[in-house]
Chains A and B, each alone.
Chain A
Amino acid sequence: MDILRKIGATTVVAAMSLAAIAMISGVPTAQAFPDKPVNYIIPFGPGGESDITARHQQSFFKEKFGQDLVIAYKPGGGGAVGWSQLNGMIGDGYTMMGINLPHIVVKPLQKDVGFKTEDITGVYMFHYTPDAIVVNASSDIKSLQDLVDYAKANPGKLTMSGSGKGTANHLAQVRFDKMAGVKTTYVAFKGTGKAVAALLGDQVKAEWGYTSVGAKHEGKVRMLAVAMEQRHPKFPDVPTFKELGFDLVSGAYRGIAVPKSTPEDVRVKLSEMIGEINADPEFRKRMENDGMALLDVGYKDLNAFVAEQAKAYEEAAREAGVIK
């Protein structure tokens, strides 16, 4: 009977989704961990960069630890819906959630979104997508200097698309404008894909994007500078902001957090596991090919790292009017 099959199908889906939230199981012993699939919740919708990087990790996780990494999505409120529920989940190491900077810093400062930055127990920050200024390949802006010159000559008229208010690239825009002493207009789009479309369609003059934009749209866009300590291995010809005299190293940082109730030894173990994936040369190659930059901030150093980043973010967010 079809209706029964339907019930069957929905039950399976329901069970799968519920399992993501409530895994009923004892705390595993260190050597056996993991002995069943690990749930990895992305607090955004599928198809975004948070999803894609998690997907990159997925196959390596299975290969190294013999268990599946099950990716589920819990989008809403720019990630806040997921993070506000993280500590209510079972902390046995089989549930973890992606975290993003600056989101986990900026969101709680805006309003009560159900979590505070310090409520989040991060175990690893594994990569960042460095901010970059991108122009259309046909643009007559050839260098960062051209861009600054244009912005100085036409205050406020330089329109730059970006992936949304309060995101890494928006805060980078605020910081850069201050450093360069210029005024540009940030046009917020919903996600990087739409911001790139606006750039390619000449709706805006430039984009505050990421190195991944340069990788994905090679040949159609020109990156003027990247916000990294050193040049990106995939783009040896693109200078860093630092080289050009602007102290800007920033981007969209991504990591993994666990519910607060997760035992200390499991946190450490998970941190080591993510680090192991990060160390895999093939994984590094794939990530770098997509324009990402790898980062290794383990469990022990994570709080200090977030605190350090938080200062700069908060300042820029206040300036941008994202926090009132």
Chain B
Amino acid sequence: MTGLDYLWQALTPLNVLLALAGVVAGTVIGSLPGLTATMAVAVLVPITFSMEPASALILMGAIYTGAIYGGAYAAILLNTPGTPSAIATTFDGYPMAKRGDGDLAITLACVSSVVGGLIGAAFLLGLAPPLAEVALAFGPVEYFWLAVFGLTLISALSEGNLLKGLIGACFGLLLACIGVAEISADIRFTFGSQVLLGGIETVSALIGLYCIPVMIDLVATPDRHLKVTQQPRGFRLKEALAISWLGKFNLIRSSVIGTLVGILPGAGGSIAGLVAYSEARRSSKRSAFFGKGEPEGVQATESANNATVGGGFIPTLVLGIPGTPPDAVILGALLIQGVRTGPSLFTENGAIVYTFIYGLILATVLMLPAGLVIGRYAYKSIITVPKAILVPTVAFMTMIGTYAIRNSISDVVIMIVLGVVGWFLNRFGFSPSPIVLGLILGRIAEQGFVQAWTIGAATEDLTGMFFGRPISLVIILFTLISLFYPLIRKHWATTGGTANAG
């Protein structure tokens, strides 16, 4: 291991305190829908001016890590992904909570996040410079195919309801077109209204489409929000650890996927979580239970999205190209501190980089106790608060959270409208995930396509651009497998093959 001597510098009392405070603050912020890791880190920037660069980095990294984990609470307990990277957590987390296993789901999310965070950080520690090259190998056309691949996951995620899934995705793609166009800067589909000028903000769409229908249903039905068992069961840590041990390959695979996708600037946690989820489902013996409260599903997304933290720091620190939006803020703070990123950062400024990486590992480890305790509070308060208080409180939070993203009232209005639309669509069997995927991936696909087409047309090699690059071909292959996988499986099932073998 490199730079081991810096481990002790990371363990000064101040840094340990910062890591703990950061994780706690991050977890709380991340648990509130709308308050994102990016925002949390940005608010902190002025405080870090007066700190040592390494300590400042540790604090920001710890908040970031905590916020990604904290996003699991709302996903599990309220069916609301606080960040795009927690979308797939809702698939199994919320059903688990509904049947009374919310505490287990949260503990499991905590353990998985710690594992994912540690694996991501290990890659950052050991292999950052070579892995950064991956970020550069991904050109526009690779992003385009990656987004198309992500869109095909819809087919895998909406088995039996493929048509509705695709219709939902198309709706999402249309939503993605609203506002100032990604590349051409044209203004589209605003119908002359300035409300729509800024486009549909992803997180506010998430809050609207996922959370508002849950709120409406809560008001409309007399049932309790989540099923509650009588006796308190502690953290259920033993149970969670046992499940994690059984699912260790799932955890490792998901973390590696999370790290690799995290390295790609512009891909983001949503793709990481989804790819990890669908891979977990494909290879699981229990794939039939996915989407109905299968712990493996929570493990996959939560380990993958925390692994993107370490992965995202790889291009940020090695190339000076931020891997994720919070990384962009951290990079800016470093610049102001006078720290130059680049390959030389690892050799000349080893003290900063390695102290930071060990600090990040420390923060991740501290997330286990901190996350368990905060998670338990979150769970207890959600299940014990009467509905008459819970619904208005959550409704209030969704509005404040949506407003806070861009300081925009328009976003709040859009969020509520989408929420009501989402509720009606739910009644007709459309789930929010394909819509949101269309919204997120549509933008990535559009950017990649237009750029690849521009370059391909200029060099007079469009075919080679889209179908002649090795990485693209691999992604296309995955896309085809993912698209036809339900058919293949059906074929196996009818021909008497092993239906669940992956």
Interface, chain A (partner B; CB < 8 A): 1-3, 5-7, 9-11, 13-14, 17, 20-21, 41, 45-48, 51-52, 55-56, 58-59, 68, 71-78, 80-81, 84, 110-114, 156-159, 164-166, 185-190, 193-194, 196-198, 200-204, 216-220, 286, 289-290, 322
Q: Which residue of B lies closest to A113 (CB)?
A: B197
Tell whether, in the assembled complex, residue B403 and residue A113 are in contact, meaning their CB atoms are under 8 Å apart.
no
**Contact pattern, B 382-418, Cβ under 8 Å of A = 1, otherwise 0:** 1001000110010011001101101110100000000
Pairs A-B, 6 closest by C-beta atoms: A76-B198, A47-B328, A201-B136, A185-B458, A165-B185, A203-B139
Residues in B whose Cβ lies below 8 Å from that of A197: 135-136, 265, 315, 319, 321
User: Closest CB of chain A to B488's CB: distance in Å?
Assistant: 34
Q: Which of A41, A78, A114, A203 contacts B455 (CB 8 A)?
A: A203
Q: Which residues of B289-324 are within 8 A (CB) of A?
A: 315, 319-322
Tell whether, in the assembled complex, residue A55 and residue B185 are in contact, meaning their CB atoms are under 8 Å apart.
no
Tell whether, in the assembled complex, residue A17 and residue B332 are in contact, meaning their CB atoms are under 8 Å apart.
no
User: Closest CB of chain A to B187's CB: distance in Å?
Assistant: 5
Tell whether, in the assembled complex, residue A188 and residue B184 are in contact, meaning their CB atoms are under 8 Å apart.
yes
Tell whether, in the assembled complex, residue A17 and residue B28 are in contact, meaning their CB atoms are under 8 Å apart.
no
Q: Which residues of B304-352 are within 8 A (CB) of A?
A: 315, 319-322, 325, 327-329, 331-333, 335-336, 338, 340-342, 344
Give bound CA distance, A131 to B406, whole Å: 29
- Given A59-B49, A74-B408, A194-B265: A187 and B185 within 8 A (CB)? no
Residues in A whose Cβ lies below 8 Å from that of B192: 112
Tell whether, in the assembled complex, residue A201 and residue B138 are in contact, meaning their CB atoms are under 8 Å apart.
yes
Residues in B whose Cβ lies below 8 Å from that of A74: 406-408
Give bound CA distance, A78 to B186, whole Å: 11
Tell whether, in the assembled complex, residue A188 and residue B322 are in contact, meaning their CB atoms are under 8 Å apart.
no
Stretch at the interface among B145-153, B353-361, B373-381, B474-482: B373-381
Q: Which of A10, A200, A216 contacts B136 (CB 8 A)?
A: A200
Give bound CA distance, A157 to B192, whole Å: 37
Stretch at the interface among B88-96, B175-183, B270-278: B175-183
User: Closest CB of chain B to A207's CB: distance in Å?
Assistant: 13
- Given A47-B325, A157-B459, A165-B184: A3 and B393 within 8 A (CB)? yes
- Given A112-B192, A165-B185, A190-B182: A185 and B454 within 8 A (CB)? yes
Tell whether, in the assembled complex, residue A77 and residue B408 are in contact, meaning their CB atoms are under 8 Å apart.
no
Q: Would you mind naming 11 contact pairs between A and B with Cβ atoms under 8 Å apart? A: A3-B393, A13-B404, A14-B404, A76-B197, A76-B406, A81-B197, A187-B454, A188-B185, A194-B266, A218-B340, A218-B342
Give bound CA distance, A322 to B180, whole Å: 12
What 4 new A-B contacts, CB under 8 Å, besides A51-B332, A216-B340?
Answer: A59-B46, A110-B187, A193-B321, A198-B139
- Given A3-B389, A197-B135, A218-B340: A81 and B187 within 8 A (CB)? no
Give bound CA distance, A52 to B42, whole Å: 11
- For residue B35, CB closer than 8 A to chain A, the reply is yes
Residues in A whose Cβ lies below 8 Å from that of B368: none
Main secondary structure of the interface of B (DSSP, over half): helix
- For residue B45, CB closer than 8 A to chain A, the reply is yes
Tell whether, in the assembled complex, residue B455 and residue A204 are in contact, meaning their CB atoms are under 8 Å apart.
yes
Residues in B whose Cβ lies below 8 Å from that of A13: 35, 400, 404
- For residue B32, CB closer than 8 A to chain A, the reply is yes
User: Closest CB of chain A to B147's CB: distance in Å?
Assistant: 14
Give bound CA distance, A182 to B124, whole Å: 44
Give bound CA distance, A166 to B180, whole Å: 12
- Given A14-B400, A164-B183: A46 and B197 within 8 A (CB)? no
Tell whether, in the assembled complex, residue A6 and residue B198 are in contact, meaning their CB atoms are under 8 Å apart.
no
Q: Which of B180, B182, B332 contacts A47 (CB 8 A)?
A: B332
User: Closest CB of chain A to B176's CB: distance in Å?
Assistant: 13
Give bound CA distance, A208 to B410, whole Å: 34
Q: Which residue of B lies closest to A72 (CB)?
A: B407
Residues in A whose Cβ lies below 8 Å from that of B201: 76
Q: Which residue of A lies closest to B403 (CB)?
A: A17
Give bound CA distance, A46 to B322, whole Å: 12
Tell whether, in the assembled complex, residue A75 and residue B455 are in contact, meaning their CB atoms are under 8 Å apart.
no
- For residue B140, CB closer than 8 A to chain A, the reply is yes
Tell whether, in the assembled complex, residue A56 and residue B336 are in contact, meaning their CB atoms are under 8 Å apart.
yes
- For residue B194, CB closer than 8 A to chain A, the reply is yes
Q: Which of B42, B396, B459 contacts A46 (CB 8 A)?
A: B42
Taking residues whose C-beta sits less than 8 angstroms from the other chain, chain B's interface range is 35 or more
User: Closest CB of chain A to B96's CB: distance in Å?
Assistant: 20
User: Closest CB of chain B to A108's CB: distance in Å?
Assistant: 11
Interface, chain B (partner A; CB < 8 A): 28-29, 31-32, 35, 38-39, 41-42, 45-46, 49, 135-140, 179-180, 182-185, 187, 192, 194, 197-199, 201, 265-266, 315, 319-322, 325, 327-329, 331-333, 335-336, 338, 340-342, 344, 377-378, 380-382, 385, 389-390, 393, 396-397, 400-401, 403-404, 406-408, 410, 447, 450-451, 454-455, 457-460
Tell whether, in the assembled complex, residue B335 and residue A52 are in contact, meaning their CB atoms are under 8 Å apart.
yes
- Given A164-B183, A197-B321: A6 and B32 within 8 A (CB)? yes
Tell whether, in the assembled complex, residue B403 and residue A14 are in contact, meaning their CB atoms are under 8 Å apart.
yes
- Given A74-B408, A113-B194, A165-B183: A55 and B336 within 8 A (CB)? yes
Residues in B whose Cβ lies below 8 Å from that of A55: 45-46, 332-333, 336
Tell whether, in the assembled complex, residue A201 and residue B139 are in contact, meaning their CB atoms are under 8 Å apart.
yes
Give bound CA distance, A187 to B457, whole Å: 11
Q: Which residue of B lies closest to A216 (CB)?
A: B320
Q: Which of B197, B199, B335, B447 contacts A190 (CB 8 A)?
A: B447
Residues in B whose Cβ lies below 8 Å from that of A194: 265-266, 321
Q: Which of A185, A190, A217 contacts B320 (CB 8 A)?
A: A217
Residues in B whose Cβ lies below 8 Å from that of A73: 42, 406-407
Q: Which of B194, B338, B396 contacts A84 (CB 8 A)?
A: B194
Tell whether, in the assembled complex, residue A290 and residue B335 are in contact, meaning their CB atoms are under 8 Å apart.
yes
- Given A193-B265, A194-B266, A286-B338: A10 and B135 within 8 A (CB)? no
Residues in B whose Cβ lies below 8 Å from that of A156: 458
User: Closest CB of chain B to A46's CB: distance in Å?
Assistant: 4
Give bound CA distance, A110 to B38, whole Å: 31
User: Closest CB of chain B to A153's CB: distance in Å?
Assistant: 14
Residues in B whose Cβ lies below 8 Å from that of A289: 338
- Given A77-B180, A187-B451, A200-B136: A10 and B32 within 8 A (CB)? yes
Residues in B whose Cβ lies below 8 Å from that of A14: 400, 403-404
User: Closest CB of chain A to B314's CB: distance in Å?
Assistant: 13
Tell whether, in the assembled complex, residue B400 and residue A10 are in contact, meaning their CB atoms are under 8 Å apart.
yes
Tell whether, in the assembled complex, residue B198 and residue A77 are in contact, meaning their CB atoms are under 8 Å apart.
yes
User: Closest CB of chain A to B14's CB: distance in Å?
Assistant: 21
Q: Which residue of A lies closest to B199 (CB)?
A: A76
Give bound CA distance, A218 to B389, whole Å: 56
Give bound CA distance, A200 to B342, whole Å: 12
- Given A46-B332, A72-B407: A81 and B321 within 8 A (CB)? no
